[in-house]
Amino acid sequence: MNKFFIDIWESLKIALQALRTNKLRSFLTTLGIIIGITTVIGILSIIRGLNDSFYTSISALGSDNLYIQKFAWFSRDDWLEARNRKNITMKEVDAIQKQATLVKAVAPVVGARRTVKYKSEQLKNVSITGSTEYYMVTGNVVPEYGRPLSEQDVEHRRAVCVIGWEVADKLFKKVSPLGRRIKLGSFKFRVVGVLEKRGSLFGNNLDSEVIIPFGVFQKLYGSRRWMTIEVKVKDQERIEEAKDELVGILRRVRKVAPGEDNDFAINQQDMIADMYKRLTTALYAVAFGVGSIALLVGGIGVMNILLVSITERTREIGIRKAIGAKNKNILWQFLIESIVISSLGGLLGIVFGLLIAKLISSASFLSASVSWPIIFIGIVFIAIVGLFFGIYPAYKAAKLNPIDALHYE
């Protein structure tokens, strides 16, 4: 074995022996580092978990979809101004349907939340969507069995509905829902289709939905509700062109004078992704900030305890030097002690961090996901912290005069 490795190995054994002798003290010393690493690993795992579920659920929106609304998402526009804009109505929908060339489907969408009943079963807070047959295209909603809303359903304002997977599951435990009537308030709707399972979007359960014809919704819940026009474009590559076309149509229909700002907004999935990125960047920054401060404090703690330890073991250092330890042997001994203390703290921190992430993901809708590269980087980083904060005390120990050290009481 190489002499250098013998040195390191012996230093490691000495360090572990020293830690065993002062178990409580070593643990308290590493606490700062434990807390720092726990926080960082916890936050990072949760961000990664969020990423996974975010990108899965955002895909439900469809990257070839546009959402025409009174408000722009995440905009800093004057809210009051936006509130006073003209409502979006069927007039716009009709105009787009007639004039737009780059559009595959257009659907007006209105929504409310209500309790849905079937016999003695009931499900609260179900999202009731009023729309047309085109919603099946724009919303990517596909019946698992039964049929979608049809043109006739919409045109004749039939009391029929297509229900989400969870509504079917909760209300109809034993029987097939097709042909049964569910109650919305005092109105009854015949179930014609059941959607396939879709999961959730930002904690919003997409499977707890009842889709009814647009006209029926307006009759039931009023026609002055804010409406979203969902548009699916023909070619995703030409989505910007499609937007321009829509802007032109909408300005004409809504009689926006040239030079005036649009009194509507065309939203799309990208905007959510952008917003999300900004949010997670902020979270990363928080994790980094908290982690750095805790590691700094922890590192100073390690340095402090090393200085104490060196003072306590001055005589030992003297003995070792007298019988032939070189300065670098003593330097390594304390550097390795520092790295070992830090790394132990780091490892405990990683374990706690993963546990906390696991705990959070099992107790809330947030999910956590472990990133091994991050953990690896973390361990290297902790070792560097140990090295950095160990250098000064170790150097001090290495430079001790053997005679003075031997006579230290």
Partner 1 sequence: MIIEIDDISKVYEVGTQEVHALRGVSMKVEDNEYLAIMGPSGSGKSTLMNVLGCLDTPSSGSYRFVNELVSEMNDDQLAEIRNREIGFVFQTFNLLPRATALHNVELPMIYNGTPSTKRKSLAKEALEKVGLSDRMDHRPSELSGGQRQRVAIARSLVNNPKIILADEPTGNLDTKTGEEIMEIFEELHDQGNTIILVTHEEYIAEHTNRIVRLRDGRIERDEATD
Residue 298 near residue 36 (C-beta atoms within 8 A): yes
Residue 2 or 186 having the CB closest to partner 1? 2
- C-alpha span between 72 and 62 (Å, rounded): 18
Minimum separation from the CB atom of position 398 to partner 1 (A): 9
- In the chain, what are the helix, strand and coil shares in percent, each to the nearest 5? 55, 20, 25
SS3 69: strand
Q: Residue 116: beta bridge partners?
A: 123, 184
Binding of residue 193 to partner 1 (CB under 8 A): no
Binding of residue 281 to partner 1 (CB under 8 A): no
Binding of residue 111 to partner 1 (CB under 8 A): no
Binding of residue 321 to partner 1 (CB under 8 A): yes
At 225, list the tokens. Answer: 């509700």
**Which uninterrupted H or E stretch holds 181?**
strand 181-184
115: phi then psi, degrees, rounded to nearest 5: -90, 135
Minimum separation from the CB atom of position 42 to partner 1 (A): 37
Binding residues for partner 1, how many (CB under 8 A)? 24
Residue 110 or 336 having the CB closest to partner 1? 336
Binding of residue 124 to partner 1 (CB under 8 A): no
Instruction: Out of 7, 25, 72, 371, point to the residue binding partner 1 (CB under 8 A).
Output: 7
Residue 111 or 402 having the CB closest to partner 1? 402
Binding of residue 323 to partner 1 (CB under 8 A): yes
At 77, list the tokens. Answer: 């526009």
Binding of residue 324 to partner 1 (CB under 8 A): yes
Residue 216 or 306 having the CB closest to partner 1? 306
Binding of residue 98 to partner 1 (CB under 8 A): no
- C-alpha span between 169 and 180 (Å, rounded): 14
Segment interacting with partner 1 (CB under 8 A) among 249-257, 267-275, 280-288, 320-328: 320-328
Residue spans of beta strands (DSSP E) within 214-315: 228-233, 265-268
Distance of CA 98 to the CA centre of its chain: 40
Q: Which amino acid is located at 53 in the chain?
A: S
State the binding string over 132-171 for partner 1 (x if CB under 8 A, else -). ----------------------------------------
Residue 109 near residue 248 (C-beta atoms within 8 A): no
- C-alpha span between 135 and 113 (Å, rounded): 18
Which parts of 327-356 interact with partner 1 (CB under 8 A)?
327-329
Instruction: Out of 113, 119, 277, 315, point to the residue binding partner 1 (CB under 8 A).
Output: 315
Residue 324 or 373 having the CB closest to partner 1? 324
Minimum separation from the CB atom of position 20 to partner 1 (A): 9
Residue 31 or 406 having the CB closest to partner 1? 406
Which parts of 15-34 interact with partner 1 (CB under 8 A)?
17, 21
SS3 389: helix
Strands 228-233 and 103-118: antiparallel
Residue 217 or 332 having the CB closest to partner 1? 332
How many residues belong to the chain?
409
Binding of residue 10 to partner 1 (CB under 8 A): yes
Segment interacting with partner 1 (CB under 8 A) among 82-90, 259-267, 313-321, 389-397: 313-321
At 206, list the tokens. Answer: 């997409």
Side-chain half-sphere exposure of 174, counting CA atoms within 13 A: 1
Residue 292 near residue 1 (C-beta atoms within 8 A): no
Minimum separation from the CB atom of position 401 to partner 1 (A): 8
- List residues binding partner 1 (CB under 8 A): 1, 3, 6-7, 10, 17, 21, 315-316, 318-329, 402-403, 406
